[in-house]
């Protein structure tokens, strides 16, 4: 099930999702913070941007929190942009590697052949977002399973 917003997970009576790890750009305080997600402006080394042209962006769906943050940062900085490629994480990685666009992308997920072009293009820094576990599970066995998952998640992110 695609989950676009925090509210869809926590809606009263919503039972399709027992637990979810989402990026949060607010200070709600509910859920378990697993750590920060750091971002950069990534593109292929051969990506070319002509000054004065709108910045070509590869992005996820319009309801994605990082897309919202990135486009708001560009708007506030007065940097014109145009979305030239929309897709999921793997598709955006391919678009970046092909040199089609720039994307605000999680540092740990950036394609190996992509570079952070934020400073070179004068793009605003992207704040880290919190990765938060939300769960409606209450039974001890499920909570134990979630503890194991979150421990593995944190350990993986350290490495």
Sorted by where each begins, the domain ranges of the chain are 6-36+129-158, 39-116
Q: For residues 131 and 81, what is the distance between their CA atoms, to the nearest angstrom?
A: 27
Query: What does each of the 159 residues of the chain score in pLDDT, given as a tens digit?
Result: 344 444 555 444 555 778 888 877 666 667 888 888 899 999 999 999 998 999 999 998 766 778 888 999 999 999 999 999 999 889 999 999 999 999 999 998 899 999 999 999 999 999 998 888 888 888 999 899 989 988 888 887 765
Q: Encoding tokens for residue 51?
A: 């000054």
Q: What is the pLDDT of residue 5?
A: 47
CATH topology of domain 39-116: D-Maltodextrin-Binding Protein; domain 2 (3.40.190)
For residue 19, give every residue at least 6 positions away whose Cβ sits within 8 Å of its Cβ, in sequence order, or none: 133, 134, 135, 136, 137, 146
Asked if residue 94 lies in contact with residue 58, where contact means CB atoms within 8 angstroms, the answer is no
CB-based contact 118:49 (threshold 8 Å): no
pLDDT at 1: 37
State the pLDDT at residue 31.
81
Neighbours of 114 (CB within 10 A): 22
Residue 93: burial class (beta carbons within 10 Å; 0-12, 13-18, 19+)? buried
| Six-digit token string for 107 | 């540092």
């Amino acid at each position: 099930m695609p989950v676009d917003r925090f509210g869809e997970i926590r809606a009263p009576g919503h039972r399709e999702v027992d637990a979810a790890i989402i990026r949060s750009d607010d200070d709600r305080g509910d859920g378990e913070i697993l750590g920060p997600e750091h971002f950069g402006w990534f593109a292929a080394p051969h990506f070319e941007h002509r000054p004065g042209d709108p910045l070509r962006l590869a992005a996820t769906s319009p309801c994605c929190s990082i897309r919202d943050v990135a486009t708001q940062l560009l708007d506030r900085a007065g940097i014109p942009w145009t979305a030239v490629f929309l897709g999921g994480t793997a598709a955006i990685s391919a678009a970046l590697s092909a040199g089609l666009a720039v994307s605000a992308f999680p540092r740990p997920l950036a394609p190996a052949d992509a570079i952070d072009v934020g400073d070179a293009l004068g793009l605003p820094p992207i704040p880290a977002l919190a990765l938060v576990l939300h769960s409606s599970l209450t039974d001890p066995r499920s909570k134990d399973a979630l503890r194991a998952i979150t421990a593995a998640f944190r350990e993986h992110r350290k490495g």
